[in-house]
Chains A and B, each alone.
Chain A
Amino acid sequence: MTLRRRNFLKNSLLPSGGAMIFSLPFRADSQAVPGLPASMQQPGKPFSNYGQPSEYEKTVIRWISANAEVPGNGVSWSPLHELAGTITPNGLHFERHHNGVPEIDPKQHEFVISGLVERPLQFSVMDLLRYPMHSRICFIECGGNSNTSWRTEPVQSAAGYTHGLVSNAEWTGVPVKLLLKEAGVKSEAKWVVAEGADGASLNLSIPLEKLLDDAFIALYQNGERLRPENGYPMRLILPGWEGITQVKWLRQLLLVETPAQSRDETAQYTELMPDGKAQQFSFIMQPKSIITSPSVGMVLPDNPGIYQISGLAWSGFGKVAKVEVSCDGGESWQEASLQTPVLDKAFTRFTIGWQWNGETAILQSRVTDEAGNIQPSREMLVTEKGKHNFFHYNAIISWEVDPSGEIFHVYA
């Protein structure tokens, strides 16, 4: 009672005090202490209900590439080359939509578990919010990430705008196994068709095992409710698995005996092998790493000079065990430092100092995951998977630094 009263008094004093301060004339340079920046000689802007990046960071954006006739079909790449640390800000998480971002009122949204269950169940968003929540930081990577790298000539877009169909966030939601237990899985059930409530009503078959393992239905992304473009009000999270399986705007889990053979598990997201046959169900994302800075399109100011190499590594098989960096096109490798904590199926930031002697240099990184998988060279990948695979490109990425300091994407 007293506390509230005191706060009330304090607050009631603020407006007049504030008005007094704002009425002071602003002088360009302090007489008292010359040379101070303008920001120290005036009050700043007031509060904001939802904070936005600095005016000076306007160029840090997702890069959009969509179909000319269908603006909701395409992708936007995360600007990996502009970001530090491991968490992708929500507004910069990559997007892949097949028919736009739906506007869904959470009060109207229905979610259903049906098919081969003892008790078909229906849930509202409010219902799901009553369950124990579980948080996990993990990457999501589109199966089509880096797909221009299958081309015979390396593209020169910025690192994120070629390889940024991958992002990393803390997702919070309800373990699917709790809901499946409630529904009672019948013994014939082997697969689950997940379906979205968007204009593509995207449907995809997922082995039941994964849903009974670490899958969850996310309601929150980096602490706030999901962004519409990331599946608001709910999406599936399958740690380490291909992005397409982590169905956004989730409306249903249908338990069945055999896969649906939907368009996105047959026509798309399958890997065409050199023998002309295509691999379906390539769920787990292979180990991959990329030097995000310095990277293609950047210019090194001093020649010679010392620079900090920084990059990201991840694997759908588990934790990153080590990242090695080469500045001579793979002749020799040095182990980089890993930022801790190193998390399972999540981005790991690696760093290493580099003394550039000023001559042409080829920078590369190579990750090894805890299961012992090593990121392959481009030559190895193409030999194994052919030139027309189109999906799941995870080869070593090479940046060539010219004596001028300019950096190019090369195949090495």
Chain B
Amino acid sequence: MFMLKAAVLAAVVVNSVLADELYQPMGKIDHELNNAAKWNLTIFPTGKNLPEGSGSVRQGAELFASQCAACHGQNGRGGSAMALTGDVGSLTSEYPEKTVNSFWPYATTLFDYLRRTMPPQAPFSLTADEAYALSAFILAQDGLVPEDGHLSQQNIHQIQMPNQQGFYTQPRDNLQVMQ
């Protein structure tokens, strides 16, 4: 990169030229970007990028009642926003319901999503402990975490979601069409 930049500049200095595809690379190299929390927000199903912390179902119940139930209903059902719990096993029925517990393939997605945008009026306000507790509470509504259980960066990615095998994961329409 440095050499490319130098070459371009040298060309400018020695002999002014006009050419297609001639441009100055402007990116500032910073290897710290790969470690900084603010540039590693995405939590992967392997658990990569999970922050330290833990929270219990019981703590989650309190948080949910005060911060979430107004829109999602008590226990995550029957509010103005979509249902989060229940309907496990409904996907092949006449009335399939896509809740976190019936549909989402990974529990890490729940943690990732809550932290970045719930509650909507205060994104990134939940601490890691709170996001683990809320995830635990939501999953516990359908027995995916025991009532006296807790979640942390050690175990949230080990949860087996009921619908984990319920997806066709190959990109559809195959990319070769583009070429």
Contact = CB atoms under 8 A, between A and B. Distances in A.
Interface of A: 67-70, 72-73, 98-99, 112-115, 119-123, 127-128, 130-132, 178-179, 182-184, 193, 195, 199-201, 203, 207, 209-210, 213-214, 240, 252, 254, 256, 258, 260-263, 266-267, 270, 272-273, 275-284, 317, 371, 388
Contacts of A261: 44-45, 105-106, 108-109
Contacts of B40: 254
6 contacts: A70-B81, A130-B23, A262-B113, A267-B98, A281-B170, A388-B96
Contact of A121 (B29, B113, B121, B175): B29
A278 B28 contact: no
Contacts of A69: 70-71, 80-81
Given A200-B116, A277-B166, A123 B104 contact: no
Contact of B167 (A128, A256, A278): A278
Contacts of A132: 21, 23
B33 interface: yes
Contacts of B108: 261
A266 B109 contact: yes
B27 A123 contact: yes
Interface string B2-33: 00000000000000000001011111111111
A121 B172 contact: no
Interface string B84-116: 000000011000101010011110110011001
A71 to B, nearest CB: 10
A167 B34 CA distance: 36
Contacts of B100: 267
Contact of A262 (B42, B81, B92): B42
Contacts of A193: 42
A195 B112 CA distance: 12
A97 B143 CA distance: 33
Nearest to B91: A276
A368 B11 CA distance: 50
Given A120-B31, A131-B26, A278-B91, 15 more contacts: A67-B80, A68-B80, A72-B120, A112-B39, A115-B34, A122-B28, A128-B26, A130-B24, A183-B27, A200-B123, A254-B42, A260-B43, A267-B98, A272-B96, A317-B177
Nearest 4 CB-CB pairs, A to B? Answer: A121-B27, A276-B92, A127-B26, A120-B33
Contacts of A68: 80
Contacts of A123: 26-28
Contact of A207 (B81, B123, B175): B175
Contacts of A284: 172-173, 177-178
Contact of B117 (A122, A200, A209): A200
A277 B167 CA distance: 5
A384 to B, nearest CB: 12
B159 interface: no
A98 B118 CA distance: 11
Contacts of B1: 119, 182, 184
B60 to A, nearest CB: 18
A393 to B, nearest CB: 15
B42 to A, nearest CB: 5
A240 B39 CA distance: 28
Nearest to A277: B166
A270 B45 CA distance: 18
A279 B169 CA distance: 7
Given A120-B34, A262-B42, A207 B171 contact: yes
Given A70-B81, A201-B123, A179 B27 contact: yes
Nearest to B120: A70
B138 to A, nearest CB: 12
Contact of A282 (B71, B98, B173): B173
A52 to B, nearest CB: 32
B33 A114 contact: yes
Contacts of B120: 70, 72-73, 99, 199
B172 A283 contact: yes
Nearest to A251: B39
Q: Count chain B CB atoms within 10 A of each CB in A113, A240, A263 and give the residue with the most.
A: A263
B117 A70 contact: no
B165 to A, nearest CB: 8
A254 B41 CA distance: 10
A272 B117 contact: no
Interface centre among B24, B81, B166 (most CB of A within 10 A): B166
Interface in B140-174: 166-173
A68 B70 CA distance: 12
Nearest to B103: A267
Nearest to B92: A276
A410 B26 CA distance: 54
Contacts of B70: 69
B44 A120 contact: no
Contacts of B26: 123, 127-128, 130-131
A209 B171 CA distance: 12
